[in-house]
Amino acid sequence: MIKKYIVDTTLRDGEQSPGIAFTVREKVTIAKSLDALGVTRIEAGTPAIGKEECRAFEKIKLACQNAQIIGWNRMNRSDISQSIACGADIIHVCVPASDLLIREKLRQSRSQVLETLSTCAAAIHTAKRELTIGLEDASRADWDFVIQLIETARDLGATTLRFSDTVGIMSPSFCKATISQIPANIDIEVHMHNDLGMAVANSIQGLRSGAKYADSTLFGIGERAGNCNLEHLLIATQGQLDFGISLDELQWRQADLKSIIYKNELLYA
Amino acid sequence: MVTIIDRTLTSFDTAGMSTRDLNHFCDLLFSCGVTKIELTPDLLARLGFPSSAASLRKWLGGRSFFLTRIFPISLDSSGMTKPQPLWKLEPNDLVEKNIPVSKLKSALYPHQKIRITGLEDLMNRDYPTIFKALLGSGAQTLDLCPSNHHHCAAAIALEWLLAGGTSISCAFANHHNLAPLEEVLMSLKLHQPDAFSGDLSVLSELRGLYEKCSGQPVAKMKAIIGADIFKVESGIHVDGVLKNPHTYEPFNPQTVGNQREIVLGKHSGRKSLLYKLNDPGLSESTAHSILKQIKSRCTQLGRNLSDLELQTLASEVQNDKKIYC
């Protein structure tokens, strides 16, 4: 079986699902369970949110034995400083890649994006932390700019490039064609949303096309229709891909965590 | 043109379903883009074919059948009144085959009308080559009805249609573990718009009727039809959506009969609060205090606050400030 790795984002993208909210203690409980399960990387949250989130990071760092802990950041020096301060192993920088996001949300230009990214990377290297870069809305971005961002990421010393289908519009064949075209000199991570019900299929195609990591969440929670559901991904790839995670163990651990994740039963319905 | 077959009602407990609901369910399925609705013989009498139901049943010979629509030519010379479509019955003469991928080639014969079921593991295989072989088999009709046991059925359905397949079978809301109809239709609309002409704004009504008749709630975050999929809470996304909704929406919520809603919770920021309270005079420190309270309460409750709860909380915080300042 081909060896692949899971980046769990239940505590970051998953928690952004409307109505889902964890206390520090709940975050630590979930992280410990993911660590015991064999998840390689845990995206534990966004330290820039505030002190509570930073406190959760510190406790998660102490509680996890094996998993690397990722701090998620906007492309912003102040956010990054907080991630560094709370001890995250990996500092992830999210870079809007589509012209739509650059123009409408950031109100910047492509060249400004590249410039800011370089500044952020320098701060992370100065703090001697691992840098990973995520291309937000990459599936709707201009391919030439995606390639430019990938080359920049590699030149800036990023170890992993996250390709995000932020609004979940990819088809498996489009995903396959896209991920196959990414140069092999950087580790690829696929981050798929489930808006068309294709997050699992797209993650499989991404992994089969060269990605080393797939992002997922418990119960598939996340913005709108959610992220790639870890349990579903394991079911669909049984005997084909080896994530080093037992499906049985995931199922009982997930059942144990259900009351924490869904405090309100109506959300689970 | 692509044939979309809906199979929801073949495995649905229709005993408690009124004739009116059954007819309305079929109407909505046709409106959203379904070409054929597969039904069981015992539903014949309940579909408005009472006088000829017995002979029709004999004609069908106990087989399931398809309900389709025909559009009569308008007799009105002015062309102002559009005639109502008529429902038509046709027997389901598809031969179902559930065979492993490795044996597919030897099981297909030219000139047959075939429905292939199963195939849930196609995403782990070289499916373009498999589809090519199927499409070259010479079958007169080749309908694919992928199983959703691996949570990939909508993806398989879309890839089949993009590869040149012309018939796909599905069921609403993942019913009977078949490809979710709503996901297949929206994928088709986005990826092959020329092959799609349905009105997906009826999906919200269809969901309500499905929940009423099946007694099964559809998950709030179910792709395309979930009630909560256009709720936005996190500050980053609210900021984007308020500037331009297209930033974080794959399609306009109204396309599927839903609407966007900014909600407040643990991940809300100042912009969301100001938007919800619509109070330009709110001071920085009051907004900060209200947000702190919102985050704490939502984390405790595990849900968002309603507008009424927000108003109450905001008043409480503002009153406290007046008393202690």
Q: From the CB of residue A269, how many other CB atoms can be counted at a distance below 10 Å?
A: 13
B223 within a domain of the structure (yes/no): no
B285 within a domain of the structure (yes/no): yes
Tell me: do B150 and B7 sit in the same domain.
Answer: yes
Q: What does DSSP say about strands A5-8 and A41-45: parallel, antiparallel, or unpaired?
A: parallel
Number of structural domains found in chain B? 2
Tell me: do B23 and B162 sit in the same domain.
Answer: yes
Domains in chain A, CATH or no CATH each: 2-268 (3.20.20.70)
Mean pLDDT for the stretch of residues A217-234? 98
ipTM for the assembly: 0.96
Name the domain boundary from B214, B241, B274.
Answer: B214
- The model's confidence at residue B270, banded by pLDDT at 50, 70 and 90, is confident
Question: HEC states along A122-138?
Answer: HHHHHCCCEEEEEEECH
Give me chain A's average pLDDT, please: 96
Pick among A72, A92, A198, A242 to test the B interface (most B CBs inside 10 A) = A198
Give me chain B's average pLDDT, please: 88
- The phi-psi region of residue B282 (left if phi > 0; otherwise alpha if psi is between -120 and 50; otherwise beta) is beta
pLDDT at B5 over 70: yes
- Measured between beta carbons, which residues in chain B are less than 8 angstroms from residue A104? 240, 243-244, 246-247
Mean pLDDT for the stretch of residues B232-245? 91
pLDDT at A230 over 90: yes
Q: Name the minimum distance, in Å, from the CA of A224 to any CA of chain B.
A: 4
- Match 């949110």 to its residue by tokens: A49
For residue A248, give every residue at least 6 positions away whose Cβ sits within 8 Å of its Cβ, in sequence order, or none: none
Nearest CA to A198 among B174, B153, B119, B218?
B153
pLDDT tens digits, B96-141:
888 888 787 777 777 789 999 999 999 999 999 999 989 988 888 9
Pick among A98, A104, A105, A207 to test the B interface (most B CBs inside 10 A) = A105
- Measured between beta carbons, which residues in chain A are less than 8 angstroms from residue B228? 18-19, 267
Chain mean position to CA A208: 18
pLDDT at A169 over 70: yes
B306 within a domain of the structure (yes/no): yes
Tell me: do B200 and B244 sit in the same domain.
Answer: no
Q: Name the minimum distance, in Å, from the CA of A187 to any CA of chain B.
A: 21
Tell me: do B36 and B185 sit in the same domain.
Answer: yes
Radius of gyration, CA atoms only, chain B:
25
Tell me: do B272 and B140 sit in the same domain.
Answer: no
Mean pLDDT for the stretch of residues B26-41? 94
Nearest CA to A46 among A64, A70, A65?
A70
Nearest CA to A84 among A125, A52, A34?
A125
* Helix axes of B270-277 and B307-324: crossing angle, nearest 10 degrees: 100
Q: Which chain A residue has the Cα nearest residue B242? A: A105
- The model's confidence at residue B61, banded by pLDDT at 50, 70 and 90, is confident
pLDDT at B13: 82
Q: How many Å apart are CA A193 and CA B246, to the nearest integer?
A: 16
Chain B contact for A130, CB < 8 A? no
Tell me: do B20 and B158 sit in the same domain.
Answer: yes
B222 within a domain of the structure (yes/no): no
DSSP A50: -
Tell me: do B170 and B297 sit in the same domain.
Answer: no
Asked whether A60 and A44 are in contact (CB, 8 A), the reply is yes
pLDDT at A239: 95
B136 within a domain of the structure (yes/no): yes
B224 within a domain of the structure (yes/no): no
B226 within a domain of the structure (yes/no): no
- Measured between beta carbons, which residues in chain A are less than 8 angstroms from residue B247? 100-101, 104-105, 137
Chain B contact for A73, CB < 8 A? no
- Domain holding B42, by residue range, is 3-214
pLDDT at B323: 58
B220 within a domain of the structure (yes/no): no
- Measured between beta carbons, which residues in chain B are less than 8 angstroms from residue A268? 219
Q: How many Å apart are CA A217 and CA A228, to the nearest integer?
A: 6
Residue numbers of A between 159 and 218 with CB closer than 8 Å to B: 166-169, 171-173, 194-198, 200-202, 204-205, 208
Torsion of CA B120, B125, B128, B130, to 10 degrees: -70
Tell me: do B180 and B273 sit in the same domain.
Answer: no
Closest CB to B124 among A196, A198, A204? A204
Q: How many Å apart are CA B236 and CA B36, to the nearest integer?
A: 43
Give residue B170's identity as a one-letter amino acid code: C
Mean pLDDT for the stretch of residues A21-47? 97
pLDDT at A263 over 80: yes
Torsion of CA A59, A63, A67, A73, to 10 degrees: -10
Tell me: do B307 and B177 sit in the same domain.
Answer: no
Tell me: do B240 and B135 sit in the same domain.
Answer: no
Asked whether A138 and A190 are in contact (CB, 8 A), the reply is no
B21-to-A40, B51, B124 alpha-carbon distances in Å: 50, 20, 40
Tell me: do B171 and B251 sit in the same domain.
Answer: no
CATH of the domain at B196: 3.20.20
Q: Which chain A residue has the Cα nearest residue B239? A: A105
HSE-up of A4 (CA within 13 Å, CB side)?
29
Q: How many Å apart are CA B7 and CA B4, to the nearest integer?
A: 10
Nearest CA to A225 among B120, B224, B288?
B224
Angle at A219 between CA A249 and CA B171, to 5 degrees: 115
Angle at B260 between CA B257 and CA B266, to 5 degrees: 140
Tell me: do B112 and B199 sit in the same domain.
Answer: yes
Is B302 close to A17, i.e. CB distance below 8 A? no
Across A108-112, B81-85, B102-106, B233-237, which has the greatest mean pLDDT? A108-112
Q: How many Å apart are CA A137 and CA B104, to the nearest integer?
A: 38
